[in-house]
Structure 1
Amino acid sequence: MNWMNQIVQGVLLGGYYALLACGLSFMFGVMRIINLAHGSLAVLAAYGVFLLAEKYELSPFWGMLLAMPAMGAIGWILQRLVLERSRRSGELVPILATFGLAVILDNSMFSAFGADTRSLAPYIDTLAYDGFDVGDITIGYLPLLIFVCAVLLLGGLHIALGYTGLGRQIRAVADDPSTAELVGVNSRAVNGMAAAISMAAVAIAGTFLAMRATVDAYSGAPQLIFAFEAVMIGGAGSLWGTLAGGIALGVAQSVSAQVHSQGFLIGGHVLFLVVMLVRMALNGRSLRAVLTGRH
């Protein structure tokens, strides 16, 4: 039993989960909104790239570059027409609104594409399955590419938030939108840009999802669960935490699958539950310390 190989495979799988969770983490960190349509929007992007590859014989990588601004526009519209208006009615309403959007997207894609699964693997030649060996460890080219893209995307967003004008505006609006407005920041426009960036990241994740696996109209819900668990394990709103959470989730699933044939999903869910219970216990302890006057 090669445990090191399983850990490496888990780390590479975690790169996909981090990439998938990037848009969800970014939107939550800026707008404090949990987008329950996140997985369905990733599947929508995957279908869009698939159609470009099937009808126009366009490379999925070129298709991804086209899908990014298209999904960015969808994100901007989503912010203006749905998220911004629903937030005025309370914190719960945006969650319900995005849940409704997910249902609409899933059923619409089912009506348009049916129940058949789709994949971009036939359009990327041997990249879908080829790899190389490092001792007893096998590394696939596609999982490695996905991991590198996850690091570059999360790192790029982290740098952009810290060293660009738009990034500073996004952080200001995330911290205190009212004060940001007082110093001339258009919080509405900034939130629209943040939503567009989140959806552009979703386009990348959706494309790689269809490259590494098959998708159908109802694939969004499992992807949302994986993304949400990665975000919460690593710490909501933290980009590097999202990468760490994705890797932890991937390693837990990979190692659990080696222990038991049914352990792939269970291992990740157990890790998520343990992390949540530990955080609840620590928060409860901190609260008791405050209430009793102990430091």
Structure 2
Amino acid sequence: MNALADTLVQGLLLGGHFALSGLGLALAFGIMRIVNIAHGDLLVVAAYLGVALVRLTPLSPLAAVLVIVPAMSVLGWLLQRALFNRLVGQGDLAPMLVTFGLSIIVHNALQELFSADFQTLDAGAARTASVEAAGMHLGLLPLATLALAALVYAGVHALMRHTRFGRVVRATVDDPEVAALMGIDARRVYAAGMALALGIAGLAGWLYGIKSSFNPLTGGNELLFAFEAVIIGGLGSIWGSFAGGLVLGIAHVAGTQVDAGWGAFAGHVAFFGFLFLRPGGLLARGGSGHG
């Protein structure tokens, strides 16, 4: 029983990262209808930005987040205005091809700038500190990640449901032509949406850089796990992505209980299981992906 409880708790803690990583991907699809293949690589860009800040400025790895999140938001706004807005109304294939090309460019740029060696954001004791509760050792960083993920999801939900910006986003996503007649500039809305999505990806990348080592190839796995979290949770639901991340985390930890190398495999099995048994996901909803 203790082993089962430990698996569930550790899975939830790991799932916090998957949930946070998946939210940016879910927002990009829900608001802009873009499947951002470069999402994982851009998340890794945030981690490398942390490395650069620590090397070149007096900022500590923990304080670097104060620059990383706004910088990634600005990058998201620029990418949407300069590149992705050109793809609006071009169907699903064009955005996938363009973001795939962006992924290759980002990967090669990171390798040229930082080499292929693994790096980390060395936050000292913050990386390994833990507390004991009910006989289980709980890492403070995973606890903080799960708590931040829950807060960010709650904040995005409130933003989309209870603010003027959220109403504008919903109107734009539900019917862009009617929104345009109301004076709403869809391209500005999309740029703000991508800024939000990449700002959250920046937060996830910063936390990942503190928790784990990474190199330019890390983005592929991060994209895959984020995608699986979103699909398990259900397209069209913000909280679905959160639930999907937690389920994926539990599957990963359960897999490692069988064999140390089976974590990702167990996550893939869970993903395909949901595709087969519940293709709509846990909390699938129609519409714009902001519920």
TM-score bracket for the superposition, by shorter chain length: over 0.9
Partners of 1:89 and 1:148 lie apart in 2 by: 38
- Give, in angstroms, the shift of residue 54 of structure 1: 2.2
The answer for the alignment partner of 1:240 in structure 2 is 239
- Give, in angstroms, the shift of residue 95 of structure 1: 0.6
Equivalent runs, 1:166-205 vs 2, <5 Å: 166-205=165-204
Write out per-residue CA displacement over residues 128-155 of structure 1, whole angstroms, 9 at most, x where no aligned residue. Answer: 0011111221111000000000000011
Q: Tell me, which stretches of 5 or more residues in structure 2 are unaligned? A: 282-291
1:74 aligns with 2:71: no
Partners of 1:13 and 1:227 lie apart in 2 by: 12
The answer for the alignment partner of 1:3 in structure 2 is 4
Write out per-residue CA displacement over residues 197-239 of structure 1, whole angstroms, 9 at most, x where no aligned residue. Answer: 1111111011001010011011100000000000000012311
Write out per-residue CA displacement over residues 128-183 of structure 1, whole angstroms, 9 at most, x where no aligned residue. Answer: 00111112211110000000000000110000101111111111111111111111
Partners of 1:56 and 1:135 lie apart in 2 by: 41
The answer for the alignment partner of 2:285 in structure 1 is none
- Give, in angstroms, the shift of residue 90 of structure 1: 2.7
Task: Tell me, yes or no, if the aligned pair for 2:235 and 2:280 is still in contact at 8 Å.
Answer: no
The answer for the alignment partner of 2:227 in structure 1 is 228
Equivalent runs, 1:50-129 vs 2, <5 Å: 50-120=51-121, 122=122, 124-129=123-128
- Give, in angstroms, the shift of residue 108 of structure 1: 0.8
The answer for the alignment partner of 2:134 in structure 1 is 135
Quick check: 231-240 or 266-275, which moved more? 231-240
Q: Tell me, which stretches of 5 or more residues in structure 1 are unaligned? A: 283-295
The answer for the alignment partner of 2:288 in structure 1 is none
Partners of 1:23 and 1:238 lie apart in 2 by: 13
Question: TM-score, normalization: structure 1?
Answer: 0.91
Write out per-residue CA displacement over residues 250-278 of structure 1, whole angstroms, 9 at most, x where no aligned residue. Answer: 00110111022332111100010011112
Q: Give the secondary-structure state (helix, strand or coil) at the position aligned to 1:60.
A: coil
Partners of 1:222 and 1:51 lie apart in 2 by: 22
Shift in alpha-carbon separation, 1:54–1:281, aligned structure 2, 3 A: closer
Task: Tell me, yes or no, if the aligned pair for 2:19 and 2:245 is still in contact at 8 Å.
Answer: yes
Bigger Rg, which one:
1
Task: Tell me, yes or no, if the aligned pair for 1:22 and 1:201 is still in contact at 8 Å.
Answer: yes
Partners of 1:164 and 1:87 lie apart in 2 by: 25
Partners of 1:239 and 1:90 lie apart in 2 by: 23
Q: Give the secondary-structure state (helix, strand or coil) at the position aligned to 2:235.
A: coil
Q: Give the secondary-structure state (helix, strand or coil) at the position aligned to 2:62.
A: helix
The answer for the alignment partner of 2:287 in structure 1 is none
Quick check: 193-202 or 260-269, which moved more? 260-269
Task: Tell me, yes or no, if the aligned pair for 2:234 and 2:280 is still in contact at 8 Å.
Answer: no
Task: Tell me, yes or no, if the aligned pair for 1:18 and 1:230 is still in contact at 8 Å.
Answer: yes
Q: Give the secondary-structure state (helix, strand or coil) at the position aligned to 1:132.
A: strand
Alpha carbon RMSD of aligned pairs, Å? Answer: 1.5
Quick check: 101-110 or 1-10, which moved more? 1-10
The answer for the alignment partner of 2:284 in structure 1 is none
Task: Tell me, yes or no, if the aligned pair for 2:41 and 2:219 is still in contact at 8 Å.
Answer: yes
Write out per-residue CA displacement over residues 106-129 of structure 1, whole angstroms, 9 at most, x where no aligned residue. Answer: 011001111111111x2x221100
- Give, in angstroms, the shift of residue 88 of structure 1: 4.0
% same residue: 38
Q: As a proportion of its length, which structure holds more helix? A: 1
Task: Tell me, yes or no, if the aligned pair for 1:26 and 1:237 is still in contact at 8 Å.
Answer: no
Partners of 1:9 and 1:268 lie apart in 2 by: 14
